[in-house]
Chains A and B, each alone.
Chain A
């Protein structure tokens, strides 16, 4: 491959995307010819089954399916049995079979080889009948899939325990069960030359700003890729600012989170093969909100939100603050605290910056090892990690005890962010912050914070400012950002881009005791 990659792609696009399947070849009347073409297509595909038989003992027919994707028992009972044992007219056309003999509800007529291959690959067996121009795709797909389970990455104490699965049909049904209006639209498309992954864009008509849907669809149609294996591919391909460390699209495993966002006028993108559903547009504050905030009492949720904001800030600046205080600004620390800190640092051979770097990197390594390792080994990592970085390192005088405390608090703080992915980006940013603190002290930290805020201010997610409703300020919407107002106060929807249907509920729903109940 040489020269301009864009030119090369244009010239070879067809070859890359559809290597073997001829496009728009109509089926032939002669079944033997059709079988020959399909058999050559599926050479060396041991999982594809060709089953020929005679309809009513006379007309040759062929069923093609992929072993493990089709419901064989049902097919035997509902398709093969009536066709082989029943009686009928040899003059019948395709529709007649479906109307009179085959008792199945989901089917589709197929006219081309291309559709044939697509149907077989999706798990739907294809029935070819001799002397007919149309084949039938029988809706008897069935494959092994995971049950609906509690999501692992987003736990709640109170709230629904359902999580999405890898099957997109299950996922859409989970959404449809929560939002029953026909205004819930699901636009289907396929992306990926080889994988042909099913992508569904879903939104509630009347709540979503129409321009957002157009924008999402146009960004999705730009994608030309060989395969989509996870929604992360889509996320990176439709972001506004790809070089930013902050995720501009929310991903979640929870149907209730998706529905809550749909009701706020956002768009969800479901991808087949992954339990992670994308939600856009997203703001920084939605990354810091958990679905449980809306199920708990509002006062508790508000307090927890503030705790979360505080610790998010801590996970960003705490290690660098410690480095700056130890290195440059002794006078800011109260004397008694300074003395105890200095005495514990006495034996440490490294400057504070190096010490902090070592410890933070070790922490990240332990975290990553804990995620990746099999559960049985995970416990061992935990013990070794706790002993090594917790105790032995301090006793050996390699690091100081306050440093260990700082690292531990930072680690825990970053895990308080309800969306694991967002936690990683903030944790990443604390390393440049530590460098700044180690070189310019408090000034460095301030400049780093300013830089981060400026960057966040310039970010947009699908055109919606990332820091809204704080910058630009929308006082109305602070009710769901600074606090979590009780539901009877949440009268208006967040204003994302337009103002499609701004009212969420009837005003003045504040509950109270019925009047005069006490007097009687």
Chain B
């Protein structure tokens, strides 16, 4: 096997949480508000459905093909030729998505480091991630576990500090336009939730696989709650203005002022977000590397870590000329790509495998 490390279900949950939340925390509230207005806090509930679906599919596929990732599973289900084809597109998607995540992070960081070229900012993160990817899934899981409190606690502290500035009446009127806009707004966040499907790459290395489902559900619920809370908080603080803000959570941090000492905490938000982005980029990076190695039937994935990193840096600039394009891709391309690759294709594969299994069984009965 390519990867010899072992992780636990809890660790996988602690990887997935920052993966979903690091994007959602930064741009989530304003993106959801564009469609759902003041009802945007309902949206994550619809969006999380795709997360549960992806979890179900990943778990089912893993039960049928134990110790395999989607790259190998697709070859088992659809045959070597079509399976390799699907695997190729998966690897390509991971590269593209990872490049995009790195770009998104770099654009965000560039707000704080004006003058530093994007290429430096993005390659610095990719380099650090490469370091972790070389260590394998065990190192990624352990570092995610250690960073987990550093990702969650600052958010809680921030809520605590901003409590006195909340204006709960901003939530009214509830469901003024009916449920439909909230569902329409769920198109973007459902993509983030569907990233739970990356569990497909973690399940084969899990030592306590029986807890995987529980850990997955808890992770999705935790993300759901965090998203609702962050939506509500931004709504309570900014009201309708949220829509116009690029990074509402960061603006909220800027808003905080306690005892004239805790002021301008946006650099703190950046620090926390770097941690989240690190976990996210590292997992996508690892998945790309592992997927490529499996696709090429390599015996060791470490030699391709740096080349894939180089490609990731390239993909973070190819086709993305400026920040407005980042926003466009984020709201028009990414959600659908994620839905297709993390829910639709794996779902079809699962369906295919169930059908062939059933057919084989009836065939077996006929001949027997």
Contacts and interface: CB of A to CB of B under 8 A. Distances in A.
Are A and B a genuine interacting pair, yes or no? yes
A440 B142 contact: no
Contact of B145 (A328, A441, A473): A473
B128 to A, nearest CB: 5
Contacts of B331: none
Contacts of B260: 334
A472 B8 contact: yes
Interface in A274-327: none
Nearest to B264: A331
B56 interface: no
B143 interface: yes
B274 A447 contact: yes
Nearest to B134: A458
Nearest to B270: A442
A472 B275 contact: no
Interface string B253-297: 000000011011111101100110010000000000000000000
B264 A450 contact: no
B219 to A, nearest CB: 16
A442 B112 CA distance: 9
Nearest to A436: B124
B138 to A, nearest CB: 8
Interface in B228-267: 260-261, 263-267
A454 B132 contact: yes
Nearest to A465: B142
B109 interface: yes
A471 B145 contact: yes
Interface string A448-476: 00110111011000000101001111000
Given A453-B147, A473-B10, A473-B145, A446 B274 contact: yes
Contacts of B275: 446, 450
A445 B264 CA distance: 18
B263 A334 contact: yes
A443 B121 contact: yes
Contact of A443 (B8, B109, B135, B139): B109
B131 interface: yes
A183 B264 CA distance: 61
B128 A454 contact: yes
Nearest to B259: A334
Given A442-B270, A454-B139, A458-B135, A332 B264 contact: yes
Interface string B88-130: 0000000000000000000001001100100011001100100
Contacts of A441: 112-113
Given A457-B142, A472-B11, A450 B128 contact: yes
A13 interface: no
B146 interface: yes
Contacts of B145: 470-473
Contacts of B266: 331
A189 interface: no
A158 interface: no
Bin the interface of chain B by size.
35 or more
A471 B270 contact: no
A442 B116 CA distance: 13
A443 B143 contact: no
A329 interface: yes
A453 B142 CA distance: 9
A27 to B, nearest CB: 55
Contact of A453 (B11, B112, B125, B146): B146
A331 B114 CA distance: 14
Contact of A450 (B121, B138, B143): B143
Contacts of A457: 132, 135, 138-139, 142-143, 146
B271 A446 contact: yes
A424 to B, nearest CB: 23
Contacts of B143: 450, 453-454, 457, 471
A473 B10 CA distance: 9
Contact of B113 (A328, A458, A467): A328
A455 B131 contact: yes
Contact of B267 (A442, A454, A473): A442
Given A440-B116, A450-B143, A470-B146, A334 B267 contact: no
Interface string B328-359: 00000000000000000000000000000000
Nearest to B109: A443
Given A443-B109, A443-B124, A454-B131, A467 B267 contact: no
Nearest to B10: A473
B135 A450 contact: no
A442 B268 CA distance: 9
Nearest to B7: A472
Contacts of B147: 450, 453
A459 to B, nearest CB: 9
A331 B125 contact: no
Interface in A313-354: 328-329, 331-332, 334
Contacts of B125: 447
A467 B146 CA distance: 9
Nearest to A334: B261
A188 to B, nearest CB: 36
A443 B110 CA distance: 10
Contacts of A331: 264, 266-267
17 contacts: A328-B112, A331-B267, A442-B112, A443-B113, A443-B121, A445-B271, A447-B128, A450-B275, A457-B132, A457-B135, A457-B142, A457-B143, A457-B146, A458-B139, A472-B8, A472-B11, A473-B11
Given A442-B270, A445-B271, A453-B143, 7 more contacts: A442-B267, A450-B147, A454-B131, A457-B132, A458-B139, A471-B143, A471-B145
Which 5 A-B pairs rank lowest in CB-CB distance, beginning with the nearest? Answer: A471-B142, A457-B142, A458-B135, A446-B274, A454-B132
Interface of B: 8, 10-11, 109, 112-113, 116, 120-121, 124-125, 128, 131-132, 135, 138-139, 141-143, 145-147, 260-261, 263-268, 270-271, 274-275, 278
